[in-house]
Chains A and B, each alone.
Chain A
Amino acid sequence: QITLKESGPTLVKPTQTLTLTCTFSGFSLSTSGVGVGWIRQPPGKALEWLALIYWDDDKRYSPSLKSRLTITKDTSKNQVVLTMTNMDPVDTATYYCAHSGGGGLRFDYWGQGTLVTVSS
């Protein structure tokens, strides 16, 4: 049974750096073809892909946010960490992590999401 759960601050101030952790179970991020991605959703708006890290440490980022994002993994802890610098109120959103597997690009298991509000 694959599960993922996001954790991190619910409130950050403008210009601060956000650090979110995705803790998962039921799969290994050292298995060929497996990845973990981050997707966010501002209130009432659409999904937006942020970043993806694969079992071989290949990392992919949204071109529009690449300069602000860093994704890393700790295979021994079953965790993936996303950092986003220089937070702005427009970054207020629910942040999801999701499992990508099976060789194709699909997000087949999702965490429950965590709402992050950016406000002074």
Chain B
Amino acid sequence: QSALTQPASVSGSPGQSITISCTGTSSDVGSYNLVSWYQQHPGKAPKLMIYEVSKRPSGVSNRFSGSKSGNTASLTISGLQAEDEADYYCCSYAGSSTYVVFGGGTKLTVL
């Protein structure tokens, strides 16, 4: 069982927007602005899409955005495209003892 809770799957049609939630606790997501999101296509390594809750690395489309409220972080993808179909994982710093926790992953299907 993963430390951060994500929905197993979400879906949307091309052009639509979707949001993936990532629920943690006051010991991880709720206490630190160190949430990151990763996209993983089948058979490929994960790719960093969002870091520090809402920052985008260079080269990542501005269709991807991140936010946080309390113990829940969210990844929003606007203007869905077929290429966005992938698994998405959230990750958070969890303090000096636990250090890093990942979510269970969400499979995004573009209908």
Contact = CB atoms under 8 A, between A and B. Distances in A.
A and B: partners?
Answer: yes
Interface stretch (B10-18, B40-48, B72-80): B40-48
A32 interface: no
B48 A108 contact: yes
Interface of A: 37, 39, 46-49, 52, 60-63, 96, 102, 104-108, 110-113
Contact of A52 (B89, B98, B100): B100
Contacts, number: 61
- Output the residue of B48, B100, B101, B105 with the most chain A CB within 10 A: B100
Interface residues of B, number: 24
A49 B101 contact: yes
A34 to B, nearest CB: 15
B46 A47 contact: yes
B93 interface: yes
Nearest to B51: A106
19 contacts: A46-B102, A46-B103, A46-B104, A47-B40, A47-B46, A47-B89, A47-B105, A52-B100, A60-B99, A62-B99, A96-B45, A96-B46, A106-B34, A106-B51, A107-B46, A107-B91, A108-B51, A110-B46, A110-B47
